[in-house]
Amino acid sequence: MMAATGPSRSAEPARSPGRELDPATLERARRGDPMAFRAFVVRYERPVFSLLSRILGRGPEVEDLAQETFLRAFRALPSFDPNGPARVSTWLLTIATRLALDSKRRTRPEPASTEPEVETTSPERAAMHHELREAIAAALEGLSDDQRAAFVLAEFHGFSLKEIEAALDVPVATLKTRLFRAREKLARALESFEEER
């Protein structure tokens, strides 16, 4: 009787893309092995849900798009090159990011300015209520969808600038500005909260 430990659903650190699926299982998943594909889903479901939640906000749409992400991955896996430059997690999260941004564009127009004034989102007011979560939410409201996606990919999923450039189709220079703005706004929200405490 052969026994092998399967993938677990243990939590993984936020800033890490985590260990990739082992090459043998990935290869079996590429060939359409259902059990291997299931292992693929189990391995990456948390990062995908995390990414989608942070770009879209929490709600039923997260699961819908997570399913769509994995279905697209299932169709495209045979053409994914495991020996290529992209990690499979980067590839998968790029699919999820694009689906999320497409969905946001369909359901809600982008803010007129990609650099909205942080003051309009009133993080100070939120901080006055001594609710860090509210302060963060307020700061996030001030980010454009692309800013938010770039920030989430960089800070929570370990994407490099090159990888974010490929995922969002945005030049690195623009990306740097967006990341700077996003970090600045979130840092300001956290600082304001700390000061109020």
Partner 1 sequence: MDLRRLEDAWPVDEPPRDFAERVTARALAERRPAPRRRARIWLAAVAVAAAAALVFALSSERGMGSGGHEALARTELSLGARARVVLEAGAKLRWSDDVVTQSEGEIFYRVEPGARFVVKTPAGDVSVLGTCFRVRVGTATAKGDGEVKRRELGMAAGGAALAALAVITVYEGKVQLSHASGRVTLAAGEAGKLGPDGAKKLDPTELASAEKSLEERPSGLAQANENLASDIADLNRRLKSVEKEKGKLESELADAERALALRADGGKPRSRHEFDLDQDDWTELAKDGTIKYRHPCFKPNGWNPDAEKIAELGIAPDDVPAIDAAYKRSYERTWKSIRPLCAKAIGNPEVADVLGPDTCTHVVVDTLRRQDGSGVSEAMRQVAEVRAGQRPAPSGKDVHPVYELFWTLTGAMSAFETDLAESLGPEEAKRLAYSKNLCAGHSTFGGPGPRSK
Q: How far is the CB of 91 from partner 1 (least distance, A)?
A: 17
Rg, the chain, Cα only: 18
The H-or-E segment that residue 175 falls in is helix 172-196
Q: Which of 156, 163, 167, 168 binds partner 1 (CB under 8 A)?
A: 156
CB nearer to partner 1: pick between 6 and 171: 6
Residue closer to partner 1 by CB (options 18, 111) is 18
Q: Residues 6 or more apart from 50 whose CB is under 8 A from it?
A: 14, 156, 157
Q: Contacts for 80-87 with beta carbons within 8 Å, 24 or more apart?
A: 80/30, 82/23, 82/26, 82/27, 82/30, 86/163, 87/17, 87/20
Asked if 19 is part of the footprint of partner 1 (rule: CB under 8 A), the reply reads yes
Which residue from 59, 160, 169, 176 is in contact with partner 1, where contact means CB under 8 A? 59
Residues that bind partner 1 (CB under 8 A): 1-16, 18-19, 32, 34-35, 37-39, 41-42, 45-46, 48-50, 52-54, 58-59, 62-63, 66-67, 70-71, 74-75, 132-133, 135-136, 140, 155-156, 183, 186-187, 190
